[in-house]
């Protein structure tokens, strides 16, 4: 029972990446309520309408390549 992450048990509000449960999430998709780490941060559905897009940091960071 030497789990190094045991100290995080109290931090139930700590969000983790949807793809990497061991990584803290720094980005949040408000439309799909998904959390991403730096590596995974991209819009899950960039071609669909999203009312949060104007304020979406993920989209601003990853979606301006054209």
**Closer by beta carbon to Zn ion, 15 or else 49:** 15
Distances (CA, A) of 34 to 4, 23, 65: 25, 14, 22
For residue 36, which phi and psi values (nearest 5 degrees)?
-130, 150
Residues 5-34 that bind Zn ion (CB under 5 A): 17, 19-20
Residue (44 or 49) nearer to Zn ion, CB: 44
Radius of gyration for the alpha carbons in the chain, expressed in angstroms and rounded: 14
- Which 47-66 positions form the footprint of Zn ion (CB under 5 A)? none
Binding site for Zn ion (CB under 5 A): 17, 19-20, 37, 39-40
């Amino acid at each position: 029972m030497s789990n190094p992450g045991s100290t995080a048990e109290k931090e139930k509000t700590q969000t983790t990446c949807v793809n990497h449960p061991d990584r803290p999430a720094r980005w949040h998709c408000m439309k799909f309520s998904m959390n991403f780490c730096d590596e995974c941060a991209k819009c899950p559905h960039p071609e669909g309408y999203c009312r949060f897009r104007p304020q979406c940091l993920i989209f601003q960071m990853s979606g301006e390549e054209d």
